[in-house]
Protein backbone atom coordinates (compact mmCIF):
# COMPACT_ATOMS: atom_id res chain seq x y z
CA UNK A 1 0.00 0.00 0.00
CA UNK A 2 1.20 3.55 -0.79
CA UNK A 3 2.61 5.05 2.42
CA UNK A 4 1.03 8.44 1.71
CA UNK A 5 -2.43 6.91 1.33
CA UNK A 6 -1.96 4.89 4.52
CA UNK A 7 -1.01 8.00 6.49
CA UNK A 8 -3.90 9.90 4.92
CA UNK A 9 -6.17 7.11 6.10
CA UNK A 10 -4.92 7.71 9.65
CA UNK A 11 -5.62 11.44 9.26
CA UNK A 12 -9.16 10.82 8.01
CA UNK A 13 -9.81 8.37 10.86
CA UNK A 14 -8.55 10.87 13.47
CA UNK A 15 -10.48 13.76 11.91
CA UNK A 16 -13.72 11.77 11.89
CA UNK A 17 -13.03 10.63 15.45
CA UNK A 18 -12.63 14.30 16.41
CA UNK A 19 -15.90 15.08 14.62
CA UNK A 20 -17.66 12.20 16.38
CA UNK A 21 -16.40 13.38 19.78
CA UNK A 22 -17.35 16.94 18.85
CA UNK A 23 -20.85 15.61 18.18
CA UNK A 24 -21.45 14.18 21.63
CA UNK A 25 -19.36 16.89 23.31
CA UNK A 26 -21.03 19.94 21.77
CA UNK A 27 -24.49 18.69 20.85
CA UNK A 28 -25.41 18.79 24.50
CA UNK A 29 -25.04 22.57 24.27
CA UNK A 30 -27.64 22.81 21.51
CA UNK A 31 -30.34 20.80 23.30
CA UNK A 32 -29.54 21.42 26.99
CA UNK A 33 -32.15 24.11 27.57
CA UNK A 34 -34.95 22.26 25.76
CA UNK A 35 -34.22 19.11 27.81
CA UNK A 36 -33.95 20.98 31.12
CA UNK A 37 -37.34 22.69 30.60
CA UNK A 38 -38.89 19.38 29.47
CA UNK A 39 -39.78 20.81 26.08
CA UNK A 40 -38.17 17.67 24.68
CA UNK A 41 -37.35 14.28 26.14
CA UNK A 42 -33.59 13.57 26.04
CA UNK A 43 -33.86 10.76 23.47
CA UNK A 44 -36.12 12.80 21.19
CA UNK A 45 -33.87 15.85 21.51
CA UNK A 46 -30.77 13.84 20.62
CA UNK A 47 -32.36 12.22 17.55
CA UNK A 48 -33.59 15.59 16.34
CA UNK A 49 -30.20 17.20 16.98
CA UNK A 50 -28.40 14.43 15.07
CA UNK A 51 -30.66 14.87 12.05
CA UNK A 52 -30.37 18.66 12.03
CA UNK A 53 -26.61 18.50 12.56
CA UNK A 54 -26.25 16.30 9.48
CA UNK A 55 -28.42 18.60 7.38
CA UNK A 56 -26.50 21.70 8.47
CA UNK A 57 -23.14 20.06 7.86
CA UNK A 58 -24.02 19.20 4.26
CA UNK A 59 -25.06 22.71 3.27
CA UNK A 60 -21.97 24.89 3.80
CA UNK A 61 -18.17 24.74 3.28
CA UNK A 62 -16.95 28.32 3.90
CA UNK A 63 -15.79 27.62 7.45
CA UNK A 64 -13.93 24.50 6.25
CA UNK A 65 -11.93 26.63 3.81
CA UNK A 66 -11.07 29.09 6.57
CA UNK A 67 -9.88 26.28 8.87
CA UNK A 68 -7.87 24.69 6.09
CA UNK A 69 -6.13 27.81 4.83
CA UNK A 70 -6.02 30.60 7.40
CA UNK A 71 -3.72 29.19 10.11
CA UNK A 72 -1.12 27.93 7.62
CA UNK A 73 -0.78 27.39 3.87
CA UNK A 74 -0.96 23.60 3.32
CA UNK A 75 0.92 23.91 0.00
CA UNK A 76 4.00 25.26 1.83
CA UNK A 77 4.34 22.54 4.46
CA UNK A 78 6.69 19.64 3.73
CA UNK A 79 5.43 17.71 6.77
CA UNK A 80 1.80 18.82 6.71
CA UNK A 81 0.43 15.31 7.29
CA UNK A 82 2.44 14.93 10.50
CA UNK A 83 1.30 18.38 11.61
CA UNK A 84 -2.35 17.37 11.12
CA UNK A 85 -1.90 14.10 13.02
CA UNK A 86 -0.39 15.91 16.03
CA UNK A 87 -3.17 18.51 15.83
CA UNK A 88 -5.97 15.97 15.88
CA UNK A 89 -4.51 13.84 18.68
CA UNK A 90 -4.10 16.92 20.90
CA UNK A 91 -7.61 18.20 20.16
CA UNK A 92 -9.15 14.77 20.82
CA UNK A 93 -7.32 14.40 24.14
CA UNK A 94 -8.53 17.83 25.31
CA UNK A 95 -12.11 17.21 24.19
CA UNK A 96 -12.27 13.88 26.00
CA UNK A 97 -10.76 15.35 29.18
CA UNK A 98 -13.21 18.26 29.32
CA UNK A 99 -16.15 15.99 28.45
CA UNK A 100 -15.20 13.61 31.27
CA UNK A 101 -15.30 16.45 33.80
CA UNK A 102 -18.49 17.92 32.32
CA UNK A 103 -16.86 21.21 31.28
CA UNK A 104 -18.43 22.80 28.18
CA UNK A 105 -15.13 23.76 26.59
CA UNK A 106 -14.67 24.62 22.94
CA UNK A 107 -13.80 22.04 20.28
CA UNK A 108 -13.04 24.99 17.99
CA UNK A 109 -10.50 26.44 20.41
CA UNK A 110 -8.99 22.99 20.83
CA UNK A 111 -8.57 22.44 17.09
CA UNK A 112 -7.30 25.95 16.27
CA UNK A 113 -4.88 25.98 19.22
CA UNK A 114 -3.57 22.50 18.41
CA UNK A 115 -3.09 23.34 14.72
CA UNK A 116 -1.18 26.51 15.55
CA UNK A 117 1.04 24.67 18.02
CA UNK A 118 1.73 21.78 15.66
CA UNK A 119 2.61 24.14 12.79
CA UNK A 120 4.85 26.26 15.06
CA UNK A 121 6.80 23.26 16.39
CA UNK A 122 6.63 20.99 13.36
CA UNK A 123 7.12 23.42 10.48
CA UNK A 124 8.59 26.53 12.08
CA UNK A 125 7.22 29.88 13.23
CA UNK A 126 7.58 31.34 9.73
CA UNK A 127 4.99 28.87 8.38
CA UNK A 128 2.31 30.10 10.78
CA UNK A 129 -0.07 32.64 9.23
CA UNK A 130 -0.29 35.05 12.15
CA UNK A 131 -2.83 37.35 10.44
CA UNK A 132 -5.22 34.50 9.67
CA UNK A 133 -4.74 32.95 13.10
CA UNK A 134 -5.40 36.32 14.76
CA UNK A 135 -8.60 36.83 12.76
CA UNK A 136 -9.92 33.44 13.88
CA UNK A 137 -9.00 34.06 17.53
CA UNK A 138 -10.65 37.49 17.36
CA UNK A 139 -13.88 35.88 16.12
CA UNK A 140 -13.64 33.29 18.89
CA UNK A 141 -13.26 36.07 21.48
CA UNK A 142 -15.94 38.42 20.16
CA UNK A 143 -18.66 35.83 19.51
CA UNK A 144 -19.37 35.01 23.19
CA UNK A 145 -19.44 38.73 24.06
CA UNK A 146 -21.95 39.35 21.25
CA UNK A 147 -24.00 36.32 22.33
CA UNK A 148 -24.10 37.56 25.94
CA UNK A 149 -25.28 41.04 24.94
CA UNK A 150 -27.84 39.77 22.42
CA UNK A 151 -29.16 37.19 24.90
CA UNK A 152 -29.57 39.89 27.53
CA UNK A 153 -31.41 42.20 25.11
CA UNK A 154 -33.67 39.45 23.71
CA UNK A 155 -34.70 38.41 27.23
CA UNK A 156 -35.35 42.01 28.28
CA UNK A 157 -37.55 42.48 25.20
CA UNK A 158 -39.51 39.30 25.94
CA UNK A 159 -40.02 40.43 29.54
CA UNK A 160 -41.57 43.68 28.32
CA UNK A 161 -43.76 41.99 25.69
CA UNK A 162 -45.12 39.32 28.04
CA UNK A 163 -45.10 41.29 31.29
CA UNK A 164 -48.91 41.19 31.66
CA UNK A 165 -49.33 37.56 30.64
CA UNK A 166 -49.77 34.67 33.04
CA UNK A 167 -46.42 32.88 33.68
CA UNK A 168 -48.15 29.52 33.14
CA UNK A 169 -49.51 30.57 29.74
CA UNK A 170 -46.18 32.09 28.68
CA UNK A 171 -44.17 29.03 29.65
CA UNK A 172 -46.61 26.66 27.96
CA UNK A 173 -46.30 28.58 24.69
CA UNK A 174 -42.53 28.90 24.82
CA UNK A 175 -42.08 25.24 25.71
CA UNK A 176 -43.59 24.42 22.30
CA UNK A 177 -41.49 27.07 20.55
CA UNK A 178 -38.35 25.63 22.13
CA UNK A 179 -38.73 22.55 19.94
CA UNK A 180 -38.18 24.73 16.88
CA UNK A 181 -35.35 26.80 18.37
CA UNK A 182 -33.54 23.66 19.54
CA UNK A 183 -33.81 22.26 16.01
CA UNK A 184 -32.53 25.57 14.59
CA UNK A 185 -29.62 25.63 17.00
CA UNK A 186 -28.68 22.04 16.13
CA UNK A 187 -28.81 22.93 12.42
CA UNK A 188 -26.51 25.94 12.89
CA UNK A 189 -24.17 23.80 15.00
CA UNK A 190 -23.78 21.52 12.00
CA UNK A 191 -23.16 24.44 9.64
CA UNK A 192 -20.17 25.56 11.69
CA UNK A 193 -18.71 22.73 13.77
CA UNK A 194 -18.80 19.85 11.28
CA UNK A 195 -16.88 22.00 8.82
CA UNK A 196 -13.85 22.02 11.10
CA UNK A 197 -13.21 18.32 10.45
CA UNK A 198 -13.88 18.90 6.74
CA UNK A 199 -11.32 21.69 6.76
CA UNK A 200 -8.59 19.67 8.48
CA UNK A 201 -9.10 16.67 6.12
CA UNK A 202 -8.98 18.98 3.10
CA UNK A 203 -5.84 20.60 4.55
CA UNK A 204 -4.23 17.14 4.67
CA UNK A 205 -5.33 16.33 1.11
CA UNK A 206 -3.80 19.56 -0.21
CA UNK A 207 -0.53 19.24 1.70
CA UNK A 208 -0.15 15.64 0.46
CA UNK A 209 -0.88 16.83 -3.11
CA UNK A 210 -3.94 14.60 -3.49
CA UNK A 211 -5.89 17.71 -4.48
CA UNK A 212 -4.61 21.12 -5.59
CA UNK A 213 -6.94 23.62 -3.90
CA UNK A 214 -9.04 24.11 -0.77
CA UNK A 215 -12.26 22.77 -2.24
CA UNK A 216 -13.96 20.25 0.05
CA UNK A 217 -14.59 16.93 -1.78
CA UNK A 218 -18.13 15.55 -1.56
CA UNK A 219 -16.99 12.38 0.21
CA UNK A 220 -15.35 14.53 2.90
CA UNK A 221 -18.60 16.44 3.46
CA UNK A 222 -20.65 13.25 3.76
CA UNK A 223 -18.09 11.58 6.05
CA UNK A 224 -17.81 14.58 8.40
CA UNK A 225 -21.56 15.15 8.48
CA UNK A 226 -22.17 11.47 9.27
CA UNK A 227 -19.52 11.37 12.00
CA UNK A 228 -20.99 14.48 13.60
CA UNK A 229 -24.51 13.03 13.45
CA UNK A 230 -23.40 9.70 14.94
CA UNK A 231 -21.56 11.49 17.73
CA UNK A 232 -24.66 13.56 18.36
CA UNK A 233 -26.76 10.40 18.68
CA UNK A 234 -24.55 9.30 21.60
CA UNK A 235 -25.40 12.53 23.43
CA UNK A 236 -23.55 14.16 26.30
CA UNK A 237 -25.55 14.07 29.51
CA UNK A 238 -22.73 15.42 31.68
CA UNK A 239 -22.66 18.69 29.75
CA UNK A 240 -26.46 18.84 29.38
CA UNK A 241 -26.60 18.79 33.17
CA UNK A 242 -24.08 21.64 33.47
CA UNK A 243 -25.62 23.80 30.75
CA UNK A 244 -29.25 23.12 31.51
CA UNK A 245 -29.37 23.09 35.30
CA UNK A 246 -26.25 24.46 36.96
CA UNK A 247 -25.86 27.96 35.46
CA UNK A 248 -29.33 29.15 36.52
CA UNK A 249 -32.87 27.75 36.73
CA UNK A 250 -34.06 27.88 33.13
CA UNK A 251 -37.73 28.33 32.27
CA UNK A 252 -39.10 27.84 28.73
CA UNK A 253 -39.06 31.56 27.90
CA UNK A 254 -35.39 31.71 28.96
CA UNK A 255 -34.60 28.59 26.96
CA UNK A 256 -36.24 30.06 23.86
CA UNK A 257 -34.29 33.31 24.22
CA UNK A 258 -30.99 31.48 24.72
CA UNK A 259 -31.54 29.06 21.84
CA UNK A 260 -32.64 31.81 19.44
CA UNK A 261 -29.63 33.94 20.39
CA UNK A 262 -27.13 31.11 20.12
CA UNK A 263 -28.46 30.01 16.73
CA UNK A 264 -28.41 33.59 15.39
CA UNK A 265 -24.80 34.20 16.41
CA UNK A 266 -23.57 30.82 15.10
CA UNK A 267 -25.33 31.13 11.74
CA UNK A 268 -24.09 34.69 11.27
CA UNK A 269 -20.53 33.42 11.77
CA UNK A 270 -21.13 30.59 9.28
CA UNK A 271 -22.30 33.09 6.63
CA UNK A 272 -19.10 35.10 7.29
CA UNK A 273 -17.01 31.88 6.97
CA UNK A 274 -15.76 32.28 10.53
CA UNK A 275 -15.17 29.23 12.76
CA UNK A 276 -16.51 30.16 16.17
CA UNK A 277 -17.19 28.14 19.26
CA UNK A 278 -20.77 26.95 19.39
CA UNK A 279 -20.13 26.16 23.05
CA UNK A 280 -19.13 29.76 23.76
CA UNK A 281 -22.03 31.21 21.82
CA UNK A 282 -24.64 29.04 23.54
CA UNK A 283 -23.17 29.32 27.05
CA UNK A 284 -22.81 33.09 26.75
CA UNK A 285 -26.38 33.36 25.46
CA UNK A 286 -27.57 31.45 28.55
CA UNK A 287 -25.53 33.74 30.81
CA UNK A 288 -26.94 36.84 29.10
CA UNK A 289 -30.50 35.57 29.38
CA UNK A 290 -29.95 34.62 33.02
CA UNK A 291 -28.57 38.08 33.79
CA UNK A 292 -31.68 39.67 32.27
CA UNK A 293 -33.92 37.41 34.33
CA UNK A 294 -32.10 38.28 37.56
CA UNK A 295 -28.39 38.95 37.86
CA UNK A 296 -28.13 37.08 41.16
CA UNK A 297 -29.87 34.05 39.64
CA UNK A 298 -26.76 33.13 37.67
CA UNK A 299 -24.22 30.92 39.43
CA UNK A 300 -21.25 33.08 38.50
CA UNK A 301 -18.73 30.77 40.19
CA UNK A 302 -19.55 28.04 37.68
CA UNK A 303 -19.61 30.59 34.86
CA UNK A 304 -16.15 31.72 35.92
CA UNK A 305 -14.88 28.15 35.85
CA UNK A 306 -16.22 27.76 32.32
CA UNK A 307 -14.65 31.04 31.19
CA UNK A 308 -11.26 30.02 32.60
CA UNK A 309 -11.48 26.83 30.51
CA UNK A 310 -12.19 28.96 27.45
CA UNK A 311 -9.04 31.04 27.97
CA UNK A 312 -6.68 28.16 28.69
CA UNK A 313 -7.83 25.85 25.87
CA UNK A 314 -5.83 27.43 23.01
CA UNK A 315 -2.47 27.64 24.82
CA UNK A 316 -2.81 24.19 26.41
CA UNK A 317 -3.75 22.45 23.15
CA UNK A 318 -1.01 24.36 21.30
CA UNK A 319 1.59 23.12 23.79
CA UNK A 320 0.11 19.62 23.80
CA UNK A 321 0.19 19.40 20.00
CA UNK A 322 3.81 20.59 19.95
CA UNK A 323 4.79 17.94 22.49
CA UNK A 324 2.93 15.21 20.58
CA UNK A 325 4.64 16.24 17.35
CA UNK A 326 8.07 16.01 19.01
CA UNK A 327 7.28 12.60 20.52
CA UNK A 328 5.87 11.05 17.34
CA UNK A 329 8.02 12.66 14.66
Name which of 119-123, 240-244, 255-259 the model is least confident about: 240-244
- What average pLDDT score do residues 297-310 get? 73
Residues with Cβ within 8 Å of 97's Cβ and at least 6 positions away in sequence, in order, are none
Helix axes 80-100, 3-36, angle to 10 degrees: 30
The whole domain housing 299 covers 3-328
What is residue 72's three-state secondary structure?
A: strand
Residue 26 pLDDT level (bands cut at 50, 70, 90): low
Q: How many percent of the chain have pLDDT more than 90? A: 42
The alpha helices in the chain, defined as continuous H runs, are: 3-36, 42-59, 62-70, 80-100, 107-122, 130-161, 167-207, 218-234, 237-241, 252-271, 278-293, 300-328
pLDDT at 152: 95
Nearest CA among 307, 287, 303 for reference residue 295: 287
DSSP 134: H
- What average pLDDT score do residues 200-228 get? 91
User: Residue 170's CB: how many other CB atoms inside 10 A?
Assistant: 18
pLDDT at 246: 52
User: Residue 272's CB: how many other CB atoms inside 10 A?
Assistant: 12
- Evaluate if residue 30 carries a pLDDT over 80: no
pLDDT at 244: 46
Structurally, the chain folds into a number of domains equal to 1
- Evaluate if residue 236 carries a pLDDT over 60: no
Residue 23 pLDDT level (bands cut at 50, 70, 90): confident
- What average pLDDT score do residues 141-153 get? 93
In angstroms, rounded to a whole number, what is the distance separating the alpha carbons of residues 111 and 104?
Answer: 15
Q: How many percent of the chain have pLDDT more than 70? A: 91
**pLDDT tens column, 165-199:** 888 888 889 999 999 998 998 899 889 988 889 99
CB 91 within 8 A of CB 75: no
DSSP 76: G
In angstroms, rounded to a whole number, what is the distance separating the alpha carbons of residues 208 and 70?
Answer: 18
- What average pLDDT score do residues 97-102 get? 79
Which own/partner pairs from 9-14 qualify as long-range (CB within 8 Å, at least 24 positions apart)? Answer: 10/85, 11/81, 11/84, 11/85, 11/88, 11/200, 11/201, 11/204, 12/201, 12/204, 12/223, 14/84, 14/85, 14/88, 14/89, 14/92
Residues with Cβ within 8 Å of 300's Cβ and at least 6 positions away in sequence, in order, are none
**pLDDT tens column, 249-303:** 678 898 899 999 999 999 999 999 998 888 788 888 988 998 987 777 677 776 7
Amino acid sequence: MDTTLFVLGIVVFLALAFDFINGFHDTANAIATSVSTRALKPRTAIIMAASMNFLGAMMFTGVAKTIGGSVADPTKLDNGIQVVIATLIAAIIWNLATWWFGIPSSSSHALIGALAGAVFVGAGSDKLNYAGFTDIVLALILSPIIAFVVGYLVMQLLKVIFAKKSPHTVNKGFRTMQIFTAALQSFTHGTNDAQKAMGIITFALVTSKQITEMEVPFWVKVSAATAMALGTSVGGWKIIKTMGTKIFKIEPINGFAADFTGASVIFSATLLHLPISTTHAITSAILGVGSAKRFSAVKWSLAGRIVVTWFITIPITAILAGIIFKILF
